[in-house]
Amino acid sequence: MFEFIIAGVQSPWLLLVLTGATVGMVGGFIGVGGGYMVTPALIVFGFPGYMASGIDMTHIAGKSVVATVRHRQLGNIDWVLGLAMVGGTMIGVEQGVRLLTWTKTIGLSGIVLLTTSVLVMIGLFIYTQIETQAANKVAMQMEKEGIKVGREITTSSLPAKFQRISLYPIVRCKTARIVISMWVIVIVGAITGVLAGFLGVGGGFVRVPALIYVVGASTHIAVGTDLLEIIVSGGYGALRHSMMGNVDFIAVLFMIVGAMFGAQFGSIATAYVRGPAIRYILSYSLILATVGAFLRLAYMLTGSKYAVLSFFAVVFTLGEMFFLCFFIMSLVLFAVRYQKGKSVPDWIPSLVVQK
């Protein structure tokens, strides 16, 4: 146990390191900050709500730097795309925070927040699942026919429509191999920023699908570039929370130690898999988080009468982290076995990269 003087709680430091490691792994792999998982975990460990959000946001900023450094080495960051999006994101985050303040003034924030989360995540889950299933089927068929499958395979026709918008200035993103109007990137940044600011999260779980299905980036580029974005949005959030005194920095340090290991593993793991594998994990993370949020919403809508709902929400949220880590580790293990020519389950070859 460690006494966190600023937060005023005693909490097992090892659990913080472990939380940092698990969320770091998931975040490094699918390109999200993981705020929707960390804040509940910190509350369970005894941190007050405001401190949990502040510690979470500050740790996300640091963890994203760790993961971004690795994704830069893997060539998964398109700096032009990332920087073009930053402006829109910042404007969006500020508007999202204002929207949140407004809903608070009319006494609705908690319920509106959770309802929006649930709806957005369900929508993204459905679209990502359908598209990824289709892409995976194509990859499996190609594998069967002996056609070499590339690292990325998508079936969505949406990016082509957005890339056809010829509004000046047109941006050439060399690493991502995209030519697109800057306005599309800025607007995507602004919309995802509003959601991030309103929901109080880094926004990765909205931005990664948006980068793939609207901008047309490959999944790997979307993950790496989004982590770059999270440094900015998470850094801004960390600054605001810190100025309000919502951060016990020592708790952040424990988490960042775990995140260093987790984010390394998660980021390196992307080199072993194809785009659909990342999108599958992203969609599962979305639906699991949705169930957790839905349980909390049900708890709030029933006037906080049924404590069992809140309990299962916590169990679900914490269980999600371990489930996703287990899934990622299994994928890497199978990828290594496949590359060595050993036997793997039938669903693995279309998801992992051949040497």
Partner 1 sequence: MTKTTGAIKFVFWLAVSVGLFYYAFHSYYTGQMISWYYYKAKNDGYAIHSGAFKNATKENPAMLQIGKFDKIEGLQAVEVKKGDRLPVNADGIIDKKVIKEEKRVKLEGEMIKVMVASEVKDAKGFKFRDTFKHKGIMTNPWAGAWNLVMILAIGLALGLMAEGMTDIMGLKLEKIVHH
Residues 233 to 262 in contact with partner 1, rule: CB under 8 A: 235, 238-245, 247, 249-250, 252-253, 256-257, 260
Instruction: Choose among 96, 178, 134: nearest CA to 276.
Output: 134
Residue 312, Cβ neighbours under 10 Å: how many? 18
Q: Cβ of residue 151: shortest distance to partner 1, in angstroms? A: 6
* Residue 220 binding partner 1, by CB under 8 A: yes
**What beta strand segments (E) does the chain contain?**
2-4, 9-11, 170-173, 178-181
Q: How many residues bind partner 1 (CB under 8 A)?
A: 75
- Provide the token pair at 15: 């659990």
Q: Cβ of residue 341: shortest distance to partner 1, in angstroms? A: 19
Subset of residues 76 to 115 that bind partner 1, contact rule: CB under 8 A: 76, 110, 113-114
Residue 200 near residue 35 (C-beta atoms within 8 A)? yes
* Sole residue written with tokens 């893997």: 74
* Residue 300 binding partner 1, by CB under 8 A: yes
Q: Cβ of residue 68: shortest distance to partner 1, in angstroms? A: 7
| Environment class of 115 (CB within 10 Å of its CB; exposed 0-12, middle 13-18, buried 19+) | middle
Subset of residues 138 to 167 that bind partner 1, contact rule: CB under 8 A: 150-152
The rounded distance, in Å, linking the Cα atoms of 65 and 60 is: 9
Q: Cβ of residue 66: shortest distance to partner 1, in angstroms? A: 4
* Residue 345 binding partner 1, by CB under 8 A: no
The rounded distance, in Å, linking the Cα atoms of 327 and 309 is: 26
The rounded distance, in Å, linking the Cα atoms of 212 and 220 is: 9
Q: Which of 291, 310, 329, 339 binds partner 1 (CB under 8 A)?
A: 310
* Residue 176 binding partner 1, by CB under 8 A: yes
Q: Which stretch binds partner 1 (CB under 8 A): 130-138, 139-147, 216-224, 324-332?
A: 216-224
Instruction: Choose among 210, 185, 186, 192: nearest CA to 95.
Output: 192
Q: Cβ of residue 73: shortest distance to partner 1, in angstroms? A: 6
Q: Which of 62, 82, 159, 216 binds partner 1 (CB under 8 A)?
A: 62
